[in-house]
Amino acid sequence: MIDEILKVNPLHPAHHFRIHLWDGSNAANALGSAALCGESAPMIAHMWHMPGHTYDKLKRYAEAAWQQEASSRADHAYMMHDRVLPDQIHNYAHNQEWLIRNLSNIGRAKDAVALAKNLLELPRHPKYNLVTRSGKSANYGRVRLFELLERYELWDETIQLADTMYLEPTDAAAEQVKRLRLIGLAYAGKDDTKKLAQTIALLKKLPAKSKPAGEQPKGKGGKGGLPGLDAFAARDNAIKELQMLEKLISDDPTSALGDIKAIKNVSPATQIRYYHDAGDLAKAELLAKQASDSAKGQVAPLAVYVEMLHANEKTKECAEAFERLRKISGSIDSLETPVFKRLAPVAAELKLPADWRVPTKFPSDFGKRPSLDSIGPLVWQPTAAPMWSLSDADGRPLSAKDYAGKPTLVIFYLGYGCPHCIEQLRKFTEQQKSFADAGISIVAISTDAADALKRALNGDGLKIPFPVASDPKHVVFQQFRAYDDFEQQPLHGTFLIDAKGMVRWHDIGYEPFMETAFVLNEAKRLLALQN
DSSP for 115-136 reads HHHHHHHS--BTTTB-TTSTTS
Predicted confidence at residue 461, as pLDDT, reads: 63
pLDDT, tens digit, for every residue of 133-172?
A: 899 999 999 999 999 999 999 999 999 999 999 999 988 8
Distance CA 438, CA 99 (A): 36
Distance CA 491, CA 381 (A): 24
Q: Mean pLDDT over residues 465-469, rounded?
A: 95
Predicted confidence at residue 221, as pLDDT, reads: 41
Predicted confidence at residue 231, as pLDDT, reads: 84
Predicted confidence at residue 207, as pLDDT, reads: 79
Percentage of residues in the chain with pLDDT exceeding 90? 87
Predicted confidence at residue 293, as pLDDT, reads: 97
pLDDT, tens digit, for every residue of 247-265?
A: 999 878 888 998 998 999 8
Whether 332 and 358 have beta carbons less than 8 Å apart is answered as no
Contacts 24+ apart (CB under 8 A), 339-346: 339/151, 339/152, 339/153, 339/300, 339/303, 339/304, 340/107, 340/303, 342/307, 343/303, 343/306, 343/307, 346/306, 346/307, 346/310, 346/318, 346/322
Q: If 0-12 CB within 10 Å is exposed, 13-18 middle and 19+ buried, where does residue 140 land?
A: buried
Ordered DSSP codes for 310-371: HHTT-HHHHHHHHHHHHHT-TT---TTSHHHHTTHHHHHHTT--SS--------GGG-----
Q: State which amino acid sits at residue 80.
A: M
User: Is the confidence at residue 223, as pLDDT, over 90?
Assistant: no
Predicted confidence at residue 209, as pLDDT, reads: 61
pLDDT band at 246 (very low <50, low <70, confident <90, very high): very high
CB-CB neighbours of 509 under 10 Å: 13
Q: If 0-12 CB within 10 Å is exposed, 13-18 middle and 19+ buried, where does residue 245 land?
A: buried
> Which has more pLDDT, 219 or 352?
352
Q: If 0-12 CB within 10 Å is exposed, 13-18 middle and 19+ buried, where does residue 208 land?
A: exposed
3-state secondary structure of 392: strand
Q: Mean pLDDT over residues 381-409, rounded?
A: 96
> Could you give the angle at which helices 281-293 and 299-311 cross, rounded to 10 degrees?
150
Chain-wide mean pLDDT for the chain? 93
pLDDT band at 458 (very low <50, low <70, confident <90, very high): confident
pLDDT, tens digit, for every residue of 177-215?
A: 999 999 999 999 999 999 999 999 999 998 766 544 444
Report the run of H or E that residue 243 belongs to, with start and end.
Answer: helix 231-248
Predicted confidence at residue 224, as pLDDT, reads: 42
Question: What are the angstrom distances between the C-alpha of 416 and each of 420, 430, 482?
Answer: 9, 18, 17
Among residues 407, 410, 382, 429, the alpha carbon closest in space to that of 471 is found at 410
pLDDT band at 225 (very low <50, low <70, confident <90, very high): very low
Map 8-51 to HEC letters: HCCCCCHHHHHHHHHHCCCHHHHHHHHHHHHHHCCCCHHHHHHH
Distance CA 299, CA 152 (A): 11
The DSSP 8-state label assigned to residue 401 in this structure reads G
The dihedral through the CA atoms of 410, 415, 421, 427 has a sign that is: positive
3-state secondary structure of 396: coil
Q: Mean pLDDT over residues 338-342, rounded?
A: 98
Ordered DSSP codes for 432-478: HHHHHHTT-EEEEEESS-HHHHHHHHHSSS----S-EEE-TT-HHHH
Predicted confidence at residue 460, as pLDDT, reads: 57
pLDDT band at 530 (very low <50, low <70, confident <90, very high): confident
Backbone angles phi, psi at 467, to 5 degrees: -60, 145
Q: If 0-12 CB within 10 Å is exposed, 13-18 middle and 19+ buried, where does residue 45 land?
A: buried
Q: Mean pLDDT over residues 513-529, rounded?
A: 96
User: Is the confidence at residue 447, as pLDDT, over 90?
Assistant: yes
Asked which of 37-41, 261-265, 275-279, 380-384 is least confident by mean pLDDT, the reply is 261-265
pLDDT band at 229 (very low <50, low <70, confident <90, very high): low
User: Is the confidence at residue 290, as pLDDT, over 60?
Assistant: yes
Q: Mean pLDDT over residues 299-322, rounded?
A: 98
Asked which of 169-178, 382-391, 421-430, 466-475 is least confident by mean pLDDT, the reply is 169-178
Report the run of H or E that residue 496 belongs to, with start and end.
Answer: strand 492-497
Predicted confidence at residue 531, as pLDDT, reads: 63
